[in-house]
Structure 1
C-alpha cells in the first residue's frame, strides 16, 4: 500500500462513523479521511503527514490496513530514499504516540502545542516555528527532511509551512499554497488561513516598498549633501585663490 496521496479522482471520502481503536481509544475525528503522507513540498525540505498513532489504537481488525504509526512512516521514508532529520509536532496533545520513538530512531523532535482553528492568530507559534526551521537548516546542510504534522497534516501544518515560505523564502502566498496542496494532495480547508497568508504577503511587500523608498531617499540626500559639500569646497577654494592673487598684486 502506498502512503502517498492519491489523485483526486481516485480519492474516497470516508463518511462512516469513526470506530474506536484498541483499548477503547478513539481514532481522531476525520483522521481516516486523509492519506497518511504527502510528498515533500517541491523546492523545500518540508514533508507533511498526519499524526502517527500508537499501534494499539488501530488494533481494531477493520483498521489494520489503515494503521499509521512512526515505524510505518520511517519504513516508507527508507523505501522512498528519504531521510527525516527533524519532526515538528503541532498537535495540542501527547496522547497520539510516544514522542521518544523519534529520538530512538535518531530523529530530532520538537513539540509546538498549537490548538486547532487559531494558528493564524498566533504570531508566537509562527515565530517559534520559523526559528526552529531556521536553526535546523543552518546546522544541517544536507538533504534531510523536516517532517511536520498536526492531527491531519493539513491545516495547521499547511499554514505554518506556507507562512515560512512566504516570510523566509519570499514566495508568494499563492505559490506556497499551491505547492503545499499539491504535495499533500488536499486543499487547505481553512479559508481564514489563506486570507492571512495573502495579508502577510501584502504586508511584506508594503514594508519592502517603504524600505526601498527610504533607501532611495537616503541615497538622494547623501548625494545632495555630497554635492553641496563639493560646491562649498569649490567656492572656498575660489575665494582663497582670489585672496592669494590680491596679495600678489
Structure 2
C-alpha cells in the first residue's frame, strides 16, 4: 500500500531502542504487552529510563505507590531488563535507550496486531517522504492505511512545530485515518487542540469534540489522550471512521 503511494520503506521496527531485548520469548512479550496497557506501568517505565544509570525505589514513587513500584521492579529484575548494582540501587541494562518513545510505538503497533488483527510497522522511515521525520506507526485496518503519531510526553512538552510536522506527514502520506495520540490523562483541549485549530484556520475544517478528550476532524484525523485507556480510545477512533457514512452513501 505504501509502494502504491510512491514510497519505499527504508527502515522500520528499530528494536535496538526498545527497553526490553528484541529476542524476548513469547511469554515475556505477552507479559510486557499486558503490563504496557496499564498507565501506571508506562509512567513507571518512563521514570526508569529517566534515571536509567542509577535509581532507587524512592526515585520512582512520584506517580506510583511503593507496592506497585516494587512489583514492577521485581518483574524487570527477573526478566533482566534492569540490574541490581548494590546499596538498594538499580540501573537499566540497555545503553541505547534514552526515551520511552520507541517502546511506546512498539506497543501501539502490537495493539493493532493483537486487538484489531491488523499488520503494523513502527518507527517507519520512507524514501520519497519530504515532510521529514519518521512515521511512528503505520498499519492497515480493513484495507485502510492508518497512521498514528505517538507522543510519550505530557502536553506541556509538545510544541506547535510537532503538530505542524504531523499534519505535513498526513498530507503527504494521505492515509485513510490519522491519529495524534498522546499518552497522558491530561486534557487535550487546553494546548494541543488549539494548535490544530490554528493550523486549520481558513481551511473550513472544524475540530470537534467527539467524546471526553477525543477530538475529530471530518472523522479522518483524530486527537486523543489515553484516558480511560489506549486500546479503548484507538478502537473508538477506528470505529468512528469505519461507520462515518451510512450503508447507501
TM-score class, shorter: 0.3 to 0.5
TM-score, normalization by structure 1: 0.32
Instruction: Select the structure that is richer in helix.
Output: 1
TM-score w.r.t. structure 2 length?
Answer: 0.32
| Greater relative CO, 1 or 2 (CA 8 Å, sep 6+) | 1
Max Rg structure: 1
**Structure with the bigger percentage of strand:** 2
